[in-house]
């Protein structure tokens, strides 16, 4: 470069009109580095695409304004450079592409019901918790044989997962639900005979019928109590808690067992990078009570939008794939980019709304325990929620995405450190597309 050097800010180029921001997946340059025109200086991911950020000129990096994994608005500069390229003196931030009509028309939006009448009855509380995690630890490196050229570092960067737990052959979803439920009942101070209803959240039941809840009921030795399954995918545990709360408010039950159990490892296509590295197996359970003192449920949000039906789906029921599956797609499938955008917006909107509905301030929240979907999703959601990211509890690096079991599994890890009166928020998004949130006071 010549001596006629000047400074200029660079912006991430937007890829579509509907987008407002993107995530800097990884900087490929550091402060002080020189670069050539057209050189890729960062890897970028937006809701619609993953693309390379190419330098518009030859120059030198003076300052990186955002770190790796930061979510950045397209109208904010991301790097300060120096250059002697005179054409850059009149360079302007790249214009956003013209709107595409179909894009905004088909994007699902989470709808929050503003006000509802609450029954003037007793407080509903969460009592004991219990979990089940398989013994087998499956590290990402073990799965990479299916994807030559892909590294563990890259997969961790895009998923936030280093390892997950997978069940041994012969283990059933009801087996894991039973182990978690026994612990939950014991930790609640109740006996199995005190349970008046059982709800199991699962997308991978033992069989199509009878329900896994009835199978669990038999293993627990409980007779006479209503028992049924609920499928809201990753939102299922919170959906089931809301239904259990309704059973208590209606007078049908006093104490309700809610369990989420998933065996996803056996329904993953080894050639599908979008799903194969994400999912783990596990179960989590809790007891809700209208008569015993516990952790008080404050507010709830439930939502679903059929415009998101394509985002996460599986055409065949159960926890295994039949050997003769040739006339249909038996595997779990995700539309990762669409899910990223919807989940990020839904998580942050639910956290903000629950804080308002609970009459809290953002700084009052001790923990946000989100569904452990994807590290980048949770980081992006935290930036918009008003609650610092360090208060979002993540354990997906060690257990992966365990679907409807993920919140109780994560909660069990921090339970001993939670103090009485601590304020906690749960939030999740699942196939449907469903969304759910809940605030509790410990």
| Residue indicated by tokens 């809610």 | 258
Among residues 132, 234, 374, 427, the one annotated as catalytic is: 234
Assess whether 295 carries a catalytic annotation: no
Q: Which residues contact 231 (CB under 8 A, 6 or more apart)?
A: 201, 202, 203
Tell me how far apart the alpha carbons of residues 119 and 422 are, in angstroms, rounded to a whole number: 25
Tell me how far apart the alpha carbons of residues 50 and 53 are, in angstroms, rounded to a whole number: 10
Tell me how far apart the alpha carbons of residues 107 and 341 are, in angstroms, rounded to a whole number: 9
Q: How many angstroms separate the Cα of 24 from the Cα of each of 69, 266, 291, 407?
A: 5, 33, 50, 27
Assess whether 231 carries a catalytic annotation: no
Residue 356 has phi, psi (to 5 degrees) of -65, -50
Helix H or strand E segment including 211: none
Q: Dihedral of CA 84/85/86/92: which sign?
A: negative
Q: 139 has which bridge partners?
A: 163
Among residues 255, 371, 374, 427, the one annotated as catalytic is: 371
Q: Which two tokens stand for residue 151?
A: 């590294």
Q: Which two tokens stand for residue 139?
A: 């590290």
Q: Which residues contact 174 (CB under 8 A, 6 or more apart)?
A: 206, 212, 215, 216, 219, 261
Q: How many angstroms separate the Cα of 164 from the Cα of each of 30, 53, 407, 408?
A: 33, 32, 15, 16
Assess whether 401 carries a catalytic annotation: yes
Tell me how far apart the alpha carbons of residues 429 and 380 are, in angstroms, rounded to a whole number: 14
Angle, to 10 degrees, between the axis of helix 236-249 and the axis of helix 406-414?
80
Catalytic residues: 234, 371, 401
């Amino acid at each position: 470069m010549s001596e006629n050097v000047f400074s200029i800010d660079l912006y991430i180029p937007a890829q579509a009109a509907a987008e407002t921001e993107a995530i800097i997946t990884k900087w490929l340059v550091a402060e002080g580095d020189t670069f050539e025109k057209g050189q890729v200086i960062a890897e970028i991911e937006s809701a619609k695409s993953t693309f390379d950020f190419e330098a518009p000129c030859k120059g030198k990096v003076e300052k990186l304004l955002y770190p790796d994994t930061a979510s950045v608005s397209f109208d904010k500069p991301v790097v300060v450079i120096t250059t002697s390229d005179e054409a850059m003196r009149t360079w302007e931030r790249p214009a956003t592409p013209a709107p595409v009509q179909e894009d905004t028309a088909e994007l699902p939006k989470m709808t929050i019901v503003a006000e509802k009448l609450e029954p003037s009855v007793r407080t509903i509380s969460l009592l004991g918790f219990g979990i089940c995690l398989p013994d087998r630890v499956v590290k990402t490196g073990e799965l990479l044989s299916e994807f030559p050229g892909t590294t563990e570092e890259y997969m961790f960067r895009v998923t936030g997962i280093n390892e997950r737990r997978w069940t041994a052959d012969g283990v059933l979803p009801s087996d894991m639900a039973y182990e978690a439920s026994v612990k939950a009942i014991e930790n609640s101070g109740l006996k199995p005979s005190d349970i008046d209803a059982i709800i199991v959240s699962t997308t991978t039941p033992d069989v199509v019928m009878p329900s896994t809840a009835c199978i669990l009921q038999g293993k627990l030795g409980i007779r006479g109590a209503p028992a049924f399954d609920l499928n809201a995918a990753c939102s299922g545990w919170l959906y089931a808690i809301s239904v259990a709360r309704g059973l208590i408010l209606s007078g049908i039950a006093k104490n309700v067992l809610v369990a989420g159990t998933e065996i996803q490892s056996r329904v993953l296509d080894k050639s599908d990078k979008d799903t194969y590295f994400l999912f783990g197996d596990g179960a989590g359970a809790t007891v809700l009570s209208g008569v015993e003192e516990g952790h008080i449920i404050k507010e709830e949000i439930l939502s679903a939008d059929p415009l998101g039906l394509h985002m996460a789906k599986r055409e065949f029921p159960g926890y295994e794939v039949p050997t003769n599956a040739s006339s249909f797609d038996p595997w779990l499938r995700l539309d990762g980019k669409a899910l990223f955008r919807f989940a990020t917006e839904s998580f942050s909107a639910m956290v903000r709304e629950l804080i308002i509905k609970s009459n809290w301030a953002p700084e009052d929240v001790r923990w946000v325990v989100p569904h452990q979907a994807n590290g980048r999703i949770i980081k992006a959601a935290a930036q918009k929620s008003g609650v610092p990211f360090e208060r979002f509890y993540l354990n997906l690096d060690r257990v992966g995405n365990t679907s409807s079991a993920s919140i109780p599994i994560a909660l069990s890890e921090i339970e001993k450190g939670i103090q009485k009166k601590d304020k906690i928020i749960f939030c999740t998004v699942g196939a449907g597309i469903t969304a759910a949130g809940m605030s509790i006071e410990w």
